[in-house]
Amino acid sequence: MATPAASTAKSDFPWWLAVAAALALAAAIFIAASDLYAQVFATVAKGIGTTVFVTMVAFALASAIGLTIALMGLSGSRWLRQIARFYVEIIRGVPMLVLLFWIAFAGAPAFVAGWNALTAPLQSAGLFGELMIRDVSLLWRAIMALTIGYSAFISEVFRAGIEAVEKGQIEAAKALGLTRTQRFRLIVFPQAIRTILPPLGNDFVAMVKDSSLVSVLGVADITQMGKIYAAGSFRFFETYSIVAYIYLILTVGLSLALRALEKRLRRQHEQ
């Protein structure tokens, strides 16, 4: 007779993953065997590097800014808390696509004008050249838009994780004479990361998908390469099927990797 644990393990077998892997393998074989789909895949795959670069850089910057905003929101200063709350609420209230357009076509020109105004004396002395709007590439405008947009969401993830740490441990660290920085580095953050990691991983996967929005600026990511090929060949079904296939491989693969990391951290904590 099977034990309850064995029955649960059997029922929890990831059949969805087995089916998804089989479909992915079948699609890969079909793509390799079809000249048309192989050509579409080769063209669209040229944008994978750009997608990965945009996602990695934007997520790293958003995490750094998000952590800073979270610490401001938890500080003892009322003004810092209000500034952090203002930032989070305003940025989260703007759709990502609108933010992308605003940063690209309003924020970047405003930054260039402000930079030139601040460095005007140095430019007159010949130490700096005048910064032109075209010097700020659309790729970096897109990265900054994703960075600002996601930093507001990530800051809330960090804030919730930090607040989940038991207050008694923080008080004990104070009694031991640890400084605020030492308490955060040695006591708070190592425990908070276990709470932070799952939603932070979800935000990372979401950013991979939202990176497709940068195609509206002409950035040569996966979606943009698909748009270019489809517009020239009128093979819309084949092209966007390949685009969806590549995004699914990236996002599902990342989700599985993050889930494995979470289980590993959980086992280490239980030991």
Q: What is the mean pLDDT of the chain?
A: 88
Task: Name the residue among 88, 94, 91, 208 with its Cα closest to residue 160.
Answer: 88
Task: Name the residue among 161, 207, 163, 162 with its Cα closest to residue 61.
Answer: 207
Q: Sign of the C-alpha dihedral, residues 253, 254, 260, 264? A: positive
Q: Is the pLDDT of residue 5 over 80?
A: no
Percent of the chain residues topping a pLDDT of 70: 95
Q: Is the pLDDT of residue 163 over 70?
A: yes
Per residue in 107-121, pLDDT (tens digit) is 999 988 888 888 888
Alpha-carbon distances, residue 121 vs 45, 93, 114, 215 (angstroms): 47, 38, 13, 38
Angle (deg, nearest 10), helices 15-33 and 35-44: 110
Per residue in 165-189, pLDDT (tens digit) is 888 777 777 777 777 777 778 788 8
User: For residues 203 and 157, is the Cβ–Cβ distance under 8 A?
Assistant: yes
Q: CA 262 to CA 271: how far, in whole Å? A: 14
Q: CA 144 to CA 54: how far, in whole Å? A: 10
Contacts of 230 (CB under 8 A, 6+ apart): 236, 239, 240
Per residue in 231-260, pLDDT (tens digit) is 999 999 999 999 999 999 999 999 998 888
Q: Is the pLDDT of residue 7 over 80?
A: no
Per residue in 141-155, pLDDT (tens digit) is 999 999 999 999 999
pLDDT band for 6, please (50, 70, 90 cuts).
Answer: low
Q: Is the pLDDT of residue 1 over 60?
A: no
Amino acid at 50: T
Q: Is the pLDDT of residue 52 over 60?
A: yes
Residue found under tokens 């007779």 = 1
Percent of the chain residues topping a pLDDT of 90: 58
Q: CA 148 to CA 219: how far, in whole Å? A: 18
For the chain, the helix, strand and coil percentages under 3-state DSSP, each to the nearest 5: 85, 0, 15
Residue found under tokens 């507001």 = 152
Alpha-carbon distances, residue 131 vs 84, 107, 136, 142, 174 (angstroms): 31, 14, 9, 19, 49
